[in-house]
A and B are shown apart, each in its own frame.
Chain A
Amino acid sequence: MMQNRRKEKPLLGIGEAAAMLHVSIDTLRRWDRSGKLKAVRRSERGNRYYRREELELFLQNAFALARTWAQSGIPPQLPSHYYCEVHPRFQSRLEKMGLYMMQREKLPDVAPLIVAVAGEIGNNSFDHNLGSWPDVPGVFFGYDINKRIIVLADRGQGIRATLQRVRPDISTDTDALTIAFTEYVSGRAPERRGNGLKFVREVAETYGLGVELQSGNAVMRISNRRGGLESDIAPHYIRGTLAKITF
C-alpha cells in the first residue's frame, strides 16, 4: 500500500476510471446514461470525469475508502454497512463476521484470533475516545473474507494524544506507536489497561497475520518475520487511526 507514493488525483478521466474498475469505457458510458455510476462533470467537449472517492465507493475498496474518511478534513458520508457509530453496532457486526468465518473451511482455527484482533483494535477506538470525539464518532469497519482483509478506522484523538496523558515525554507518533505495541502502559490510567495492542502484535507474529496500523504520521507494520515490528512514515496524516488486517 505505502509503495505507491504517486500523488493521487481527485478526478479521473474515463479511461483511468475504466481501468480502475476493470470495465470497458463503453460500459462506463452506459452506466452514466443509466445512472448506475454517473460522471460528475463534463468539459465543453463532453468528456466524462469521475471523482476518485465515488469510484472507490463503487469498487467497495474498503481500505481506500477508510483512508479517505480518516484523513479528510471534511469526511465523506459513509455507506451504512461500513459505519459503526456506537460500540454495540461494532460488536454485533463483529459477531456476524465471526460466525461467518467459523463456517468457512480453512478458517475456523484462526478465526477466533482474527476476530479478537479486530475486536481489540476497534474497541480501542471507542474506549479511548468516549466523550472526546473530535468530530465524527465511531469506527469504520469493513471486511472482505474472500480477499482476506479487514479494515478499521476512526477519527479520534489518535494514539499519541491518548498516551501523552500518562506519558507526556512521548513526542512523536512513531514513539507512541512503538510504546503502544511493546509496553504495558494505559492511556486511561489509573485503570488497568494497555493489553490490546500487545495482544495484537503477539498474535500477528505468532500466527502470521498481517497488521498495519497508522496513527498520526506513523505507520506500524507487524508481520510474522522475526523481529516483526517495522515503523514507517505515512504519506498522509491521520489524526485518528487506520488499521488493516490481512490473513
Chain B
Amino acid sequence: MRIALRKFGKILISRPQGREAFAAIRPSLDLSEPAVEIDFDGIISLSPSWADEFFSALRNIYGERVKFLPSDNLSVAATLRVLRESEAASRNL
C-alpha cells in the first residue's frame, strides 16, 4: 500500500494537521498490508511536528512495515533524521 503525502497538502508542518491527516486516512487502512510505503513526491515541505503525529500513529499500527520511499526533498531528509534522534532520546530516558 502506498500513501502519497501530497494528497494532504504541499506544506506539511502543523502538528494538529498531522493528527487530522491520520484520522482522515485511518478508516481506509488495511491492517493486513505487508508494507506501507510513504511517497514524498510533490510536497514542498515536511517538518517534524506533522511527521511525528502522522508517522507515530501509522507505526502504532504497522510497526516496521512502514517504509519511506526515497526523496530528494531536503526537508524530508532532515525531518526523518530528527525524528530518529528524538526516538533514540526517548528510549534512553
Contacts and interface: CB of A to CB of B under 8 A. Distances in A.
A99 B13 CA distance: 14
B81 A202 contact: yes
A113 B46 CA distance: 8
Nearest to A108: B44
A172 B82 CA distance: 26
A29 interface: no
Given A116-B46, A120-B47, A199 B79 contact: yes
Interface residues of A, number: 32
Contact of B49 (A112, A195, A207): A195
Interface in A154-187: 183-184
A184 to B, nearest CB: 4
B11 interface: yes
A195 B83 contact: yes
Determine the main DSSP class of B at the interface with A. Answer: helix
A91 B74 contact: no
Given A195-B86, A199-B48, A127 B79 contact: no
Contacts of A184: 85-86, 89-90
B82 A102 contact: no
Interface in B44-64: 44-49, 52, 56
6 contacts: A102-B44, A115-B45, A116-B79, A119-B14, A119-B45, A193-B15
Interface of B: 9-11, 13-17, 44-49, 52, 56, 73-76, 78-79, 81-83, 85-86, 89-90
